[in-house]
């Protein structure tokens, strides 16, 4: 006769429950960190500055499409998004809570996706808080609402792309400051490769295939040249989806690597 | 008696660069067994526990919990596990109650089960007073108790506790030891706890495993451990055995203050 206790049967939970549990903790945690508050204040103040600088919002045709507003987003995100993503994993390493997380019955995907989605949702909430800018241009002029909506979609995707890069960088570091600096550098590179002067510099000495590749991976060209002009192109959607998937996949690999070390 | 082990580790090896922290450790723990895991600083206790719980991947060897391989069926294996990692890590910004609720959900409990699990674990570890405090404001002992409570939320059949009584006051040590003993005797759990307090092994464990430089050097009952000391040693007998097992040269007779001639 077996004297083994039958392990207590744990109720089966839906597949998304683990991701949702991580998401919930992380999302709420953003509201207790000063960095998130700073992110919110800087982002909203900057968009406020834009609002007062109305001449920039309303383009010469009298069509307010908020191009000036959205053109700023890549450069605001460059510093603000790494401030959000730096603590994602660096803090887990430092506090030792990664050991707790990885010994819970959760998959690596639950952890990586839950954290990423929480940061992305937080950034989206902050972006949504800029809606008074939209109201203002609607009041002052006759904007093309479709173009503005495309700008918001693009801006959300851009933030997601930066966050995925920041997530991977954060997974490789114990130190938040290091994670921040490296993320800013990586995101800066991904912006610059699509910036006109840098592109022509590369064209001068790199083989065309390589300089075209560098231009193709730029966050800037996939945002400023499309969404901000009101164009939602499947290629840009696929681009950002690929960047996000790649960033999260690398995050998972780096975390698995820590366990193998 | 054909009980199957709840914890089964075979030939675990962990190599950090050129340093072999754990060298071919086997461990089988059956229901109702409370194993005291002993060894000097750096012996490889934490590293072994980390491999058994699935945090670190072993360089070679396998581990399974409740019959589930931790490498191939990690989620199924971890459902049966309550683990207190070294240093009782927790999120400093969270309130104790929030933290416990989070871990309960992550363990797959839902709704009323979460509340019941948190209440039961908080009662067992006497966390009533600090439930609304944030983790960063807790004293060392309370932080450790929160870490222990976290491991009990889902009433697991396997408990792996890395220094569960470290930093507790004498009263709390007594309480927690009683709790661990009862969970083994009455709860039929398989429990492994590491400690540096040898009396703790006599007080709560029905088996002791000593490792030294990553190798198992003793595995048996606490009484058998005690028997290894020569009869002339009358005080701190376990200390004597421990030193003998884990010192590179055998202690010389007559120069130890615990070797008091009767
Ligand atoms: N990530 C790591 N990289 C390199 N060496 C490590 C790593 N983790 C542990 N070690 C080494 O492995 C050895 C065993 O460490 P471990 O933490 O398992 O010891 P321990 O028995 O738990 O000691 P203590 O009683 O001090 O807690 C130590 O020499 C330690 O320095
Ligand atoms: Mg240790």
Instruction: Catalogue all structural domains in chain B, each as residue range(s) with its CATH number.
Output: 1-80+158-220 (3.40.50.300), 86-155 (no CATH), 228-262 (no CATH)
Q: How far is the CA of B45 from the centre of ligand 2 (A)?
A: 5
Nearest-by-CA chain B residue for A94: B89
Residue A3 resides in a domain: no
pLDDT at B254: 47
Q: How far is the CA of B16 from the centre of ligand 1 (A)?
A: 9
Pocket test of ligand 1: the residue of B18, B39, B40, B44 to mutate, having most ligand atoms within 8 Å of its CB, is B44
A197-219 pLDDT, tens digit each: 777 777 778 888 877 777 778 88
Which amino acid residue places its CA nearest to atom 24 of ligand 1? B41
Residue that has been written with the tokens 């709560």 in this structure: B204
Report the alpha-carbon distance of residue A22 to residue B150 in Å, rounded: 16
Closest residue by Cα to residue A112 from A257, A245, A10, A260: A245
Classified as helix, coil or strand, B3 is: coil
Residue A25 resides in a domain: yes
Regions of chain B with pLDDT less than 50: 1, 251, 254-256, 259-262
Mean pLDDT for the stretch of residues A60-89: 80
Ligand 1 proximal residues by C-beta, below 6 Å: B 16, 21, 39, 41-47
Contacts of residue B108 in chain A, CB cutoff 8 Å? 10-11, 13, 17, 105
DSSP state of B73: S
What percent of chain B shows pLDDT beyond 70?
94
pLDDT at A229: 82
pLDDT at B95: 96
pLDDT at A94 over 70: yes
CB contact under 8 A, B93 and A29: yes
Mean pLDDT for the stretch of residues A106-110: 95
CA distance B154 to chain A (A): 8
pLDDT at A20 over 70: yes
pLDDT at A52: 60
Crossing angle (nearest 10°) for helices A67-95 and A145-171: 20
Partner-chain residue, chosen from B80, B89, B106, that has the shortest CB–CB distance to A7: B80
Residue A2 resides in a domain: no
The total of structural domains in chain A comes to 1
pLDDT at A212: 77
- For A97, the domain range is 15-260
Task: Name the pLDDT band for A62 (thresholds 50, 70, 90).
Answer: very low
**What does the angle CA B176 – CA A103 – CA A15 come to, to the nearest 5 degrees?**
125
In this structure, of A64-68, A248-252, B32-36, the range with the lowest mean pLDDT score is A64-68
A216-236 pLDDT, tens digit each: 788 888 887 888 888 888 889
Q: Say which residue, A104 or B238, is predicted with more confidence.
A: A104
pLDDT at A53 over 70: no
Which amino acid residue places its CA nearest to atom 28 of ligand 1? B42
Residue A6 resides in a domain: no
Residue A21 resides in a domain: yes
The mean pLDDT value of chain A amounts to 85
Here the ipTM equals 0.90
Classified as helix, coil or strand, B261 is: coil
Residue A76 resides in a domain: yes
pLDDT at A8 over 50: no
- Best-predicted range by mean pLDDT (A105-109, A190-194, A224-228): A105-109
Q: How far is the CA of B24 from the centre of ligand 1 (A)?
A: 15
Task: Name the pLDDT band for A157 (thresholds 50, 70, 90).
Answer: very high
Crossing angle (nearest 10°) for helices A34-52 and A67-95: 170
Residue A120 resides in a domain: yes
Contacts of residue B189 in chain A, CB cutoff 8 Å? 5
pLDDT at A128 over 50: yes
In sequence order, what are the residues at sequence separation of 6 or more whose Cβ sits closer than 8 angstroms to the Cβ of residue B129? none
Report the alpha-carbon distance of residue A113 to residue A129 in Å, rounded: 24
Report the alpha-carbon distance of residue B223 to residue B140 in Å, rounded: 32
Residue A73 resides in a domain: yes
Classified as helix, coil or strand, A219 is: coil
């Amino acid at each position: 006769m077996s004297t083994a206790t039958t392990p207590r049967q744990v109720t089966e939970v839906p597949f998304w429950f683990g991701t949702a549990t991580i998401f919930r903790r992380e999302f709420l945690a953003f509201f207790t960190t000063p960095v998130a508050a700073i992110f919110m204040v800087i982002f909203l103040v900057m968009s406020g500055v834009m609002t007062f600088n109305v001449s920039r919002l309303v383009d010469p045709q009298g069509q307010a499409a908020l191009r000036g507003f959205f053109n700023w987003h890549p450069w605001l995100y460059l510093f603000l998004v790494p401030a959000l993503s730096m603590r994602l994993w660096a803090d887990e390493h430092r506090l030792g809570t990664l050991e707790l997380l990885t010994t819970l019955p959760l998959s690596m995907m639950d952890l990586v996706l839950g954290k990423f989605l929480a940061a992305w949702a937080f950034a989206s909430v902050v972006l949504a808080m800029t809606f008074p800018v939209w109201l203002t241009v609607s009041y002052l002029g006759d904007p093309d609402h479709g173009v503005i909506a495309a700008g918001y979609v693009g801006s959300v995707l851009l933030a997601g792309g930066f966050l995925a890069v920041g997530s991977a960088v954060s997974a490789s570091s114990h130190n938040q400051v290091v994670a921040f600096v490296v993320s800013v550098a990586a995101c800066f590179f991904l912006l610059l490769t699509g910036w006109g002067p840098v592109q022509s510099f590369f064209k001068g000495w790199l083989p065309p295939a390589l300089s075209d590749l560098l231009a193709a991976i730029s966050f800037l060209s996939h945002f400023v040249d499309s969404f901000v002009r009101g164009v939602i192109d499947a290629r840009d959607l696929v681009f950002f989806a690929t960047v996000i998937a790649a960033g999260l996949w690398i995050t998972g690999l780096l975390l698995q690597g820590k366990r193998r070390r | 008696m054909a009980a199957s082990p709840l914890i089964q580790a075979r030939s675990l090896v962990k190599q950090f660069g050129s340093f072999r922290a754990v060298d071919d450790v086997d461990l089988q723990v059956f229901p109702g067994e409370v194993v005291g895991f002993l060894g000097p600083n750096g012996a490889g206790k934490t590293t072994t526990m980390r491999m058994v719980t699935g945090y670190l991947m072993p360089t070679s060897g396998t581990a399974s919990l409740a019959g589930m391989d931790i490498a191939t069926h990690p989620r199924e294996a971890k459902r049966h596990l309550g683990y207190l990692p070294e240093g009782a890590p927790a999120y400093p910004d969270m309130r104790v109650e929030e933290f416990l609720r989070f871990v309960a959900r992550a363990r797959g409990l839902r709704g009323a089960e979460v509340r019941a699990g948190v209440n039961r674990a908080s009662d067992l570890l006497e966390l009533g007073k600090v439930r609304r405090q944030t983790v960063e404001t807790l004293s060392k002992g309370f932080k450790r108790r929160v870490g222990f409570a976290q491991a009990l939320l889902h009433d697991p059949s396997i408990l792996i506790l890395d220094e569960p009584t470290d930093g507790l006051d004498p009263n709390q040590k007594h309480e927690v030891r009683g709790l661990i003993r009862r969970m083994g005797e009455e709860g039929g759990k398989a429990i492994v706890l590491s400690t540096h307090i040898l009396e703790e092994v006599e007080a709560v464990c029905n088996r002791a495993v000593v490792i030294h430089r990553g190798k198992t050097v003793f595995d048996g009952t606490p009484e058998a451990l005690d028997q290894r000391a020569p009869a002339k040693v009358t005080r701190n007998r376990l200390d004597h055995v421990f030193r003998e097992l884990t010192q590179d040269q055998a202690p010389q007779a007559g120069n130890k203050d615990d070797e008091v001639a009767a």
